[in-house]
Every structure is written in C-alpha cells, then in structure tokens.
C-alpha cells in the first residue's frame, strides 16, 4: 500500500483503514513506519522486509499471508517503485496468494503530471546510476525514447548527472522537481547547461525527480520523402501511399498526398 512522499496528509482513507485492519505490516524500516503509525495513533506488529531477504524469510511472510492480512509498505510512496516488494509480490502471485493495493503517492507519477512534459507516453527508468561511465550509458540509452523519461536522483549527485546529461542530450529540455509535496517543493526546467547554472548557484537539497523531454522527431528531407512516396506508390493507391509515409515519418498526410499526386504526373 502506498504511503505519503513527504506530506502526511496524502495518506488515503483506504490506506489508513488497511493499516488499522491488517494483522502484520511488512516494512522497509520499522522506525520510519513506526513514525507513520504514531502519527495515525496506531500500534501494530511490524516485520522488516526488503527484497534482499532470503527465500526463507520471504516464505515466512507469505505463509503468514495465507491466513492473515499482511500490508506491505515502503518508507515513502508506492512499494516496488524503486523500493522493495517485487520479489514478494512475484512469489505471492506464483503461489496464488491474493494481492491487491491501496494506491496513492508516487514521486514519479506526481512529477510527470506537473512537469509540463508530454504525459501520453512515458518511461520510468529508476535511479540515475552513481558512476560516470554508467551514467553516460544510461542517458545514451534513453536518448532516443519518443516519450518523456522519468528518473530518480538525489541532491548530492544532481550536478554530475546534469553535466553528463548535457554531454549526451545537448539542448534537450530537462525538468527537475524537488521535495514534492513538502514545504520547499521546487520546479526548474531548462537545458542541462541552464539547470547546471541554476543549481551551481543554489546547491540542490532533498529528494529529486529528473525528467527528460522526448527525443525530437527525426526531420526527414524532401528528397527522402519523395523516395518513400515513390516506393509506396508502387504497391498502394495515392491516399494509402500518403498515409503509409505519414505513419513512417510523422509528416503531414495531406501534404504528402498533394506531393504524391505531383509525383505521379512527372
Ligand atoms: N517508492 C517511492 C515512490 O513511489 O516514489 C520512491 C522510493 S525511492 C527509494 C526514493 C526516490 O524517490 C528519491 O531519491 C527521489 O528520487 C524520489 N522521491 C521520493 N519522494 C520524493 C519527493 N517528495 N520529491 C521528489 N522526489 C522524491
């Protein structure tokens, strides 16, 4: 079940009810979850769980889940999203133990929805790796993605990541969202160079989501469009050829149709 990512007011009524009714809470850190329970004036039996737990510990928890209600929480936000839980849910499903969720806050989704970047297509790729070579590979791999990319980052590592993002992504628009739902929530957007200048002057603190705008559509030259149209006209009617080349290139279908008509008269 999801817990808040900063503002305790973001816990849902169903999550509170689930915490109240469950028999055991499996949590990442009993101190962190203990604070949440204290805030809700509850006291519950807690078991520490992370995905590095050995199979015996996981099976112990799943055995419990066969007869009792076990709630899984992470320190903040939605379990499994760069947090423990995948191995537990995967095994529970494999063993036909019912699983459901009380959905709620996740920094990735909140960041996307307020970033101003396209939200119709996106990928989440977890934490930016801490080592330089892995960082460059990471940004290279996401650079061609045609939707928005969401990554997790931390204050102390942001400047290095922006430097490497700039080398790989050039002037691509980036968005940095910091301390979401908290007192000092902050939004900054710009090229890596612009963001570097800002954060060098205002060293970033706290929790961060770094987003990368979609890869720009490849501009196709008129010469290449003609070649594609001529090829498509060999096996299609004019309107179909225009539609096919529009699908391949993202160019305007009506303009392609007009050009296809011209090409047929040449
Ligand atoms: N499971 C969590 C979720 O659903 O968002 C994410 C847990 S992950 C271990 C922690 C990372 O999430 C932070 O380093 C940061 O990148 C991001 N994050 C969590 N809370 C945040 C917040 N309030 N503002 C910005 N980023 C946050």
Is residue 87 domain-resident? Answer: yes
The rounded distance, in Å, linking the Cα atoms of 184 and 46 is 31
The domain in which residue 228 lies consists of 222-265
How far is Cα 111 from Cα 180, in angstroms, rounded to an integer?
8
Q: Give me the number of domains the chain comprises.
A: 3
Residue 217 lies in a domain: no
Whether residue 181 is found in the same domain as residue 143: yes
Q: Are residues 148 and 178 in the same domain?
A: yes
The verdict on residue 102 lying in a domain is: no
Question: Do the domain assignments include residue 16?
Answer: yes
* 208 and 227 fall within a common domain: no
pLDDT at 67: 96
Q: What is the CB < 6 Å shell around ligand 1?
A: 5-6, 74, 76-78, 81-83, 106-108, 152-154, 177-182, 207-209
Co-location of 226 and 147 in the same domain: no
Q: What is the pLDDT of residue 217?
A: 82
Q: What residue ranges of the chain have pLDDT lower than 50?
A: none
User: What CA–CA distance (Å, rounded) separates 137 from 190?
Assistant: 22
Q: What is the pLDDT of residue 255?
A: 87
Q: What is the pLDDT of residue 106?
A: 98
Query: For ligand 1, atom 11, which residue shows the shortest CA distance?
Result: 152
Looking up residue 167, the CATH number of its domain turns out to be 3.30.950.10
Instruction: State whether 113 and 171 are in the same domain.
Output: yes
pLDDT of residue 153: 98
CATH number of the domain residue 38 falls in: 3.40.1010.10
Quick one: residue 6, left, alpha or beta (phi over 0 = left, psi -120 to 50 = alpha)?
A: left
Asked, for residue 1, whether it belongs to a domain, the answer is no
Q: Do 128 and 208 lie in a common domain?
A: yes
Structure tokens at 165: 């993002």
**35 and 90 part of one domain:** yes
Contact residues for 241 (Cβ-Cβ < 8 A; gap 6+) = 229, 232, 233, 256, 260
69 three-state secondary structure: coil
Rounded to a whole number of angstroms, the CA Rg of the chain reads 25
Same domain, yes or no: 38 and 89: yes
CA 164 / ligand 1 centre spacing (Å) = 22
Pair of tokens at residue 215: 């890869």
Say yes or no: 202 and 233 in one domain: no
Q: Compute, in angstroms, the gap from residue 225 CA to the centroid of ligand 1.
A: 44
122 and 201 part of one domain: yes
Mutate to test the pocket of ligand 1, among 4, 33, 77, 186 (most ligand atoms within 8 A of CB): 77
**What's the predicted TM-score (pTM) here?**
0.85
CB burial class (10 A; 0-12, 13-18, 19+) of residue 180? buried
Tell me how far apart the alpha carbons of residues 29 and 137 are, in angstroms, rounded to a whole number. 32
For the stretch 120-167, pLDDT in tens is: 999 999 999 999 999 999 999 999 999 999 999 999 999 999 999 999
Within this chain, do residues 111 and 201 fall inside the same structural domain, yes or no?
yes
* 31 in a structural domain: yes
| Dist CA 9 CA 31 (whole Å) | 19
Looking at residue 235, its pLDDT comes to: 95
């Amino acid at each position: 079940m999801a817990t808040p990512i900063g503002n305790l007011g973001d816990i849902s009524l169903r999550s509170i009810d689930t915490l109240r009714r469950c028999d055991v809470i499996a949590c990442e850190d009993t101190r962190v979850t203990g604070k949440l329970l204290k805030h809700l004036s509850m006291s519950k039996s807690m078991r520490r769980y992370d995905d590095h737990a050995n199979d015996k510990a996981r099976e112990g928890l799943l055995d419990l889940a066969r007869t009792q209600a076990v709630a899984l929480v992470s320190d903040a936000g939605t379990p499994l999203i760069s947090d423990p839980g995948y191995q537990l849910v995967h095994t529970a499903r494999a063993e036909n133990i019912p699983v459901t969720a009380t959905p709620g806050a996740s920094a990735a989704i909140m960041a996307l929805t307020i970033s101003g970047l396209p939200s119709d297509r996106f990928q989440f790729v977890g934490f930016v790796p801490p080592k330089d070579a892995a960082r460059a590979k990471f940004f290279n791999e996401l650079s061609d993605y045609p939707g928005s990319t969401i990554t997790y980052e931390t204050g102390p590592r942001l400047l290095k990541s922006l430097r490497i993002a700039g080398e790989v992504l050039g002037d691509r628009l980036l968005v940095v969202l910091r301390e979401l739902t908290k007192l000092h929530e902050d939004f900054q957007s710009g090229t890596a160079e612009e963001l570097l200048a800002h954060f060098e002057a205002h060293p970033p603190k706290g929790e961060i989501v770094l987003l990368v705008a979609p890869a720009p559509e490849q501009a196709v030259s008129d010469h290449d469009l003609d070649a594609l149209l001529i090829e498509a006209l060999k096996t299609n009617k004019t309107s179909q050829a225009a539609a096919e080349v529009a699908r391949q290139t993202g160019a305007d279908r009506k303009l392609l149709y007009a050009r296809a008509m011209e090409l047929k008269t040449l």
